[in-house]
Structures are given as structure tokens and as C-alpha cells.
Structure 1
């Protein structure tokens, strides 16, 4: 829930509505965190000396929670799930194998494969062992198989991993950067039906509309 600048808040969320910040906002809404949002435009604002002290990469999103800085969407999702345990978005420690596996599969092989293909970076057969994901088709096939086996990536319950994986699937299908595989559309429908997703989407769409 975004607060005004005058509110005393222990969570600051740096974002741009047309960025991966949409993933972090969805996660913030899932855990029910109160946060102050700082909207940064692309260009000088993200490269300012002040902001680079928080995120030396000069990109969004970034969260600052009780003085702790967290960047990278997958890390933000995992952090918030632990920081707000009452939301129930992380399995108990003894059952986190699939949770970690698919969260970081998507942060590594899935995103790299999608980005490389979108940029028309051609990986030769003999180079597949070097790129970490093998090839684009294999990555999508592996994710498809998982989504056919389980309603959510970590099992029967929605977790923070689904915020991250779900965002990639939703964007991939919407922008055509992911080929359709069995289970993708059904999974996208499940995760996008969540109230937190809808609330986050409304907030970002409103910000985008205000800029036009």
C-alpha cells in the first residue's frame, strides 16, 4: 500500500511503472507492506550520485527496508517473503527446495534465454554449455513440464516464487517473447487472478496514464 511522503515509513520503494518494478510492487502488495514509493525517470534520476549509493547499477527496482537495501527482483521477492512471514509466501525451511529451485531457474536460465532471443543473440550448438541455459527451447520445455505437474512452481500453494515466475510468463505471453507451451496460459490465468496482482497493476497503470 503506497503512502504519502509525509508518512513515517520503514519501507521505501524505488521504481518506474514501466519497468521490472512491477514485479516488486506485486510482491509488496502480496505481503501487505506499507511503503513510500519514489518514482524515478529513466536517465539522470537513476544515475544520480544519491541513487547510485543505493543501487550502483543505476536501475530499478530497489527497496530499502529498515535501512537494508535490496535490489534484483528475485532477491526482493525472497526477502519480502521472509520479512513478512504472516503472508505465508515462503514454504517452511524443510520444504524450500522447489521454491528456491524455480525462483532462481527463472532469474537465471529463463530470463537469460528470453533476453538473448529477444536481442537476436544466436548461441551456437557448441556454445550451449557456456551460456548456462543450454537453449531457449529446452528452457521453455522444462518450465512447461513443471507447470503441467503442479499448479504453482513450488507445489500446490502460491508462493513468492510465483510472483517472479508468473511475471515472466505473463510478460512473455503478452509481448510474444515466450513461445506458448502447454500449461503457460493456464498458469498465467491463475496468478493474474490474485487480488494483489490486480491492485499492483492498477497502481502502475495509473502512474503510466498520468505520464501520458
Structure 2
């Protein structure tokens, strides 16, 4: 019997990234919807993720948290889907996935919170300046169809989800390279399924 795959999420969270990846994998999974500040902080969920945040997955007895880690884990655990990097793609795959998890996430969050790093302190911040992050992100999605080249991988799920969210909420600059890149990857059936599932889950939670 295949190990059960359980997905812990809230539809208004970064869990939407993990949902997209789960739909790309195409394996059956059970969804546990959690509420902010309530069930996310309950003792039983804290045993899954002591941070009390979503998303998380449980695959049999294995727990994985952090969106980038979930994407990488699923890609490698189900290699038949072709979402893990080939040897020649590994450098760009890991470079841009970790860039999105580190500098991009940090820079966008600080900007959204209204915090601007003083120029003389930029070297202390791993993310550097917001403009530098946007320029680097533009380089990542320019020059090839996908971030690793001409093949869609889990890195596109992770990087692409950040770009899609940022374009939608105005937290990243609306550069043409970002619009074009997200326009390509958002046509994927798995992305559309994931969005529909999360939108429906959101309605269910609001009605409860």
C-alpha cells in the first residue's frame, strides 16, 4: 500500500505553492485545512510543524515543511513526473529556487511591511536592495522559457508562484519579463486545478 500523503494548508497562505506542486505530481493526497492562530497553533499540529505555520506535508512518517523543501522533496520522491533537475539543470534549478526562498522572499516581505534597509546597511542584509533583487529575478526568467532552460521543473512552481502572487498583490514590480513568464506557466492544467481547489476551500472556510 502506498504511503498516505497529507497536506496541511490554508487557502490564503503559501500553501497555494505546495498545492500547485501536489497537483503537478498527480498523486492522491488528503487535505487538512487549518485556521490562523487557532488550529495552526494547536498542540497536535505543532507536533507536525513547531513553527505553527503552513504548509506542511506528511508522507507516511516523513514530515516536510517550507515550500521550497516541499517542492524539491516531491519532485525527487516522484521522479517519473520529470520535475526534478537533470544533471545539467541542477545549478540553475538550485540557484533560483534558493534565491526565491531567500533574497526574494525577504526583500518582498520587508517592502510589504514598509521597512527599507538603509543604504549603508545593505551589505548586512542577505537580500541586498529591492531593486537588485528585481533585476536578478528578471535575469532568472529571461533568456529561456523556464528557469532551468526549456523544460518545466519544480523550480518553476516555486519561483513562478512567487511571481504570480507578487503581480497579483503588487508586491513585485510589474515588469514585462515577469508578466510573460507567469503567463506561460499559469496555463498549466495543474496550476488551474490547484487554484480552483484553493478557491473552493476558501469559500468553505468562510462559510463555516
Report TM bin, short chain. Answer: over 0.9
| Conserved 8 A contact 1:81-1:160 | yes
The residue number in structure 2 matching 1:127 is 121
Q: Distance in 2 between matches of 1:209 and 1:10?
A: 26
SS at match of 2:183: helix
User: 1:180 and 2:174 equivalent?
Assistant: yes
| Residue from 191, 194, 200 that aligns with 2:194 | 200
The residue number in structure 1 matching 2:8 is 14
User: Where does structure 1 lack aligned partners over 5 or more consecutive residues?
Assistant: 1-7
| Residue from 21, 25, 35 that aligns with 1:27 | 21
The residue number in structure 1 matching 2:141 is 147
The residue number in structure 2 matching 1:4 is none
Shift of 1:44: 2.0
Q: Distance in 2 between matches of 1:199 and 1:22?
A: 11
Comparing 163-172 with 146-155, which one deviates more in the overlay?
Answer: 146-155
Shift of 1:146: 2.4
Comparing 154-163 with 141-150, which one deviates more in the overlay?
Answer: 141-150
TM-score, normalised to structure 2, is: 0.95
| Conserved 8 A contact 2:96-2:140 | no
Q: Distance in 1 between matches of 2:186 and 2:88?
A: 28
Q: Distance in 2 between matches of 1:146 and 1:78?
A: 18
Shift of 1:12: 0.6
| Residue from 59, 80, 88 that aligns with 2:74 | 80
Alignment RMSD:
1.2
| Conserved 8 A contact 2:15-2:55 | yes
User: 1:168 and 2:194 equivalent?
Assistant: no
Q: Distance in 2 between matches of 1:62 and 1:93?
A: 28
TM-score, normalised to structure 1, is: 0.93
The residue number in structure 2 matching 1:157 is 151
Shift of 1:94: 4.5
Q: Distance in 2 between matches of 1:66 and 1:129?
A: 43
Number of residue pairs matched? 205
Q: Distance in 2 between matches of 1:71 and 1:47?
A: 15
Shift of 1:170: 0.4
Shift of 1:182: 3.5
Shift of 1:181: 2.1
